Amino acid sequence: MATFRLTLEYDGGDFHGWQRQPRLRTVEGELRAALDRLGAGEVELTAAGRTDAGAHAHGQVVGLHLDRPWEPERLRRALGSVLPPDVTVSAVAEVAEGFHARRHAVARTYRYLVVPRRAPLARRFAWEVSREVDLEAMRGAAELLRGRHDFGAFGRSPQPGGSTVRTVHDISVRRVTAPCGGESFPVLVLEVTADAFLYGMMRSFVGALVAVATGRLSRAALAAALAHPTSRAERVTVAPARGLHQWAVTYPSPPGGDQ
């Protein structure tokens, strides 16, 4: 049996998230169907995380066990020939037996895109915010989220009764100019790297930071949500999934025991 680490990119707009579900189109379902077309049958695989319906991935990592060896680049090309156009395998590496894409990860990075204006051509991949956004207020509020905290007010544990304590290693907010459809418009890029994320945590972060930046939430109220993790901050909209981009997963070196 050979073990591989796959890196996937996908446009999540037409998917009901990562995890396989009956009668719904999911990324895991498409990957398993592609592997079946290659003669792999029902396979054992693990994923670094579960993206929401409508969310996108640039570096989703999958651990895969196959009954027969493949040359990694040949496997990448073979999967690319049978996967649908909105998902691709960008890299394949053979790793040591026992590699687990979620348990062996030491950090994850997400990006979220906010467009501070109406931008129909960008709305598949970003959240349009029509109110004026105070970038410096957003940056100042973001610093409150850095470090190790109980983030129970911003999400729930993947395990029933599990801990909601996580460590945010880095958080940044920057403004860039993006071209789209023959025009350019401003985009706010919120990037967070953490040891792990709660369900809904990144989208709740963005909703809270946008609320501060548009004057709907005070910095003190955001701090109170951190101090009292069993209650959510008022007047905070959870950001829509379409602006969420799973960006990268970090593993110890060598990742998963590369061969």
Catalytic residues, which ones?
52
Q: Report how far residue 188's alpha carbon sits from residue 141's, in angstroms, rounded to the nearest whole number.
A: 15
Bridge partners, residue 115, by sequence: 128
Q: Report the length, in residues, of the chain.
A: 259
How many C-beta atoms lie closer than 10 Å to residue 28's C-beta? 19
Residue 206: name the closest of 158, 154, 247, 254 by CA: 154
Q: How many CB atoms lie within 10 A of CB 215?
A: 12
**Contact predicate 93/74, CB 8 Å:** no
Phi-psi region of 91 (alpha: psi -120 to 50; beta: other; left: phi over 0): beta
Q: State how far the Cα of 105 lies from the Cα of 234, in Å rounded to an integer.
A: 33
Query: Hey, which residues does 95 pair with through a beta bridge?
Result: 3, 258
